[in-house]
Chains A and B, each alone.
Chain A
Amino acid sequence: MRSKECVAMILAGGQGSRLGILTQNVAKPAVPFGGKYRIIDFPLSNCAHSGIDTVGVLTQYQPLELNTYIANGQPWDLDRTNGGVFVLPPYTSAEKGEWYKGTANAIYQNIGFMEQFNPKYVVILSGDHIYKMDYNKMLTAHKKANADATIAVIEVPWDEAPRFGIMNTDENMQIVEFEEKPENPKSNLASMGVYCFSWDVLKKYLMADEADPESENDFGKNIIPAMLGDGLKLMAHRFDGYWKDVGTIQSLWEANMELLDDKPGCDLDDDTWKIFSRNPIKPPQYVGATGSLKNSYTTEGCEIYGKVEHSILFEGVTICEGATVKDSIVLPGAVVNSGASVNKAIIGSDAIIGDGAEIGSTADDANSDYNNTKICSADITLIGPGIKIGNEKKVAVLSMVTDDIC
Chain B
Amino acid sequence: MKNDMLGVIFSENPEASMGELTSLRSLAAVPLGGRYRIIDFMLSNMVNSGILKVGITTPVNYQSLTDHLGTGKDWDMDRKDDGLYILPPKDTGESDVEAIGGIERLTGISSFLNKSQQEYVLVTDCNTICNIDFDKVLESHLENEADFTLVCTPVKDLSSKDVRKHILLNVDDDNNVTDMHIYPGRQVTDLSYMHMFITRRETLMELVEYASTHGKHQISKDILLPAVTNDQVKVCAYNFTGYRKKIDSIQSFYKANIDMLNKEVRDELFGLSVDKPIFTKIKDSVPTKYAKTAEVENAFIADGCKIEGTVKNSILFRGVHVGKGATVENCILMQDSEVMENCLVENVVFDKGVILRSGKKLVGQDTYPMVIGKEIVV
Contact = CB atoms under 8 A, between A and B. Distances in A.
A binds B: yes
Contacts of A287: 296-299, 301
Interface stretch (B141-149, B201-209, B274-282): B274-282
Contacts of A80: none
Query: Which of B302, B306, B315: most chain A Cβ within 10 A?
Result: B302
A1 interface: no
A279 B35 CA distance: 13
Contact of A297 (B288, B297, B301): B288
Contacts of B301: 284-287
A282 B284 contact: no
B310 to A, nearest CB: 11
Interface in B287-346: 287-292, 294-304, 306, 315-316
Contacts of A276: 284
Contacts of B315: 284
Interface of B: 33-35, 73, 260-261, 263, 266, 270, 272, 277-279, 282, 284, 286-292, 294-304, 306, 315-316
Contact of A299 (B34, B287, B296, B299): B287
Interface string A292-305: 11111111110100
Contacts of A295: 290-292
A288 B295 CA distance: 11
Contact of B304 (A269, A283, A288): A269
A320 to B, nearest CB: 12
B287 A34 contact: yes
A295 B291 CA distance: 4
B302 A300 contact: yes
B151 to A, nearest CB: 24
A121 B374 CA distance: 47
Given A275-B284, A282-B272, A283-B266, A294 B297 contact: no
A277 interface: yes
A308 B270 CA distance: 25
7 tightest CB-CB pairs across the interface, nearest first?
A35-B287, A284-B34, A293-B290, A299-B287, A284-B302, A281-B277, A283-B270
A286 B33 CA distance: 11
Contact of B284 (A277, A286, A308): A277
Contacts of B296: 287, 291-293
A290 to B, nearest CB: 8
Nearest to B297: A289
Contacts of B287: 34-36, 268, 297-299, 312
A274 interface: yes
Nearest to B36: A283
A288 B260 CA distance: 12
7 contacts: A74-B73, A279-B282, A282-B277, A287-B297, A294-B292, A297-B289, A298-B290
Contact of A286 (B266, B282, B290, B295): B266
Given A74-B73, A293-B294, A286 B300 contact: yes
Nearest to B288: A298
A284 B303 contact: yes
Given A282-B277, A283-B270, A283-B278, A300 B300 contact: no
A170 to B, nearest CB: 41
Nearest to A300: B303
Contacts of B284: 75, 274-277, 279
Contacts of B298: 287-289
Contacts of A274: 284
Contacts of A298: 287-288, 290
Interface string A154-188: 00000000000000000000000000000000000
Interface in A16-65: 34-36
A245 B315 CA distance: 37
Given A284-B302, A286-B261, A286-B301, 16 more contacts: A260-B289, A274-B284, A275-B284, A283-B266, A283-B272, A283-B278, A283-B300, A284-B34, A285-B300, A286-B299, A287-B297, A292-B296, A293-B290, A299-B288, A301-B272, A308-B290
A276 B302 CA distance: 17
Contacts of A35: 286-287
B34 A292 contact: no
A76 B263 CA distance: 33
A227 B178 CA distance: 87
A269 B304 CA distance: 8
A75 B282 CA distance: 9
Nearest to B266: A283
A301 B11 CA distance: 28
Nearest to A295: B292
Given A277-B284, A281-B279, A282-B277, A300 B35 contact: yes
A269 B294 CA distance: 18
A242 to B, nearest CB: 15
B81 to A, nearest CB: 18
Contacts of A296: 289-290
Interface string A252-291: 0000000010000000110000111101011111111101
